[in-house]
Amino acid sequence: MNDYARELRNNATEAERLLWHHLRRRQLNGFKFRRQRSIGRYICDFVCLDALIVVELDGSQHVGDAPYDAKRDAFLRSNGFRVLRFWNGDVLSQTESVVETIYEALHRPEMDGRFD
């Protein structure tokens, strides 16, 4: 699994690279994010272990993957994580809004879900 996570980090999408630029180096109020981190049998795009937040970026391939994503999200939630999902296009076109939503989630424990 670690080799696959490393491969994903090395072949990040444009949206993942852009968001990582904003999340790395504790730029959001000192919260540390990791990318392509394993949690159970799943590899999550971005994880803040201190705040128990998973950030997932979805491209067009996720349109048909709703049942898989729901199962994955249920597993993550059952392990105490909050899951934030964003479309790749939103990350690319509304970066500041996406980053602000993540920032707010770090400070408001009830925030969870898909952001369209």
Question: Total structural domains in the chain?
Answer: 1
Domain that holds residue 7: 2-115
DSSP for 21-65 reads: HHHGGGTBTTB--EEEEEETTEEEEEEETTTTEEEEEE-GGGGGG
Q: What is the pLDDT of residues 10-55, one digit of tens each?
A: 779 999 999 999 999 999 999 999 999 999 999 999 999 999 999 9
| Cα radius of gyration rounded to whole Å, the chain | 13
Q: What is the CATH number of the domain that holds 72?
A: 3.40.960.10
Supply 48's token pair: 């803040």
Q: Are 34 and 18 in contact (CB under 8 A)?
A: no
Beta bridge partners of 53: 48, 82
Q: What is the pLDDT of residues 53-85, one digit of tens each?
A: 999 999 876 566 788 999 999 999 999 999 999
Q: Give the pTM.
A: 0.87
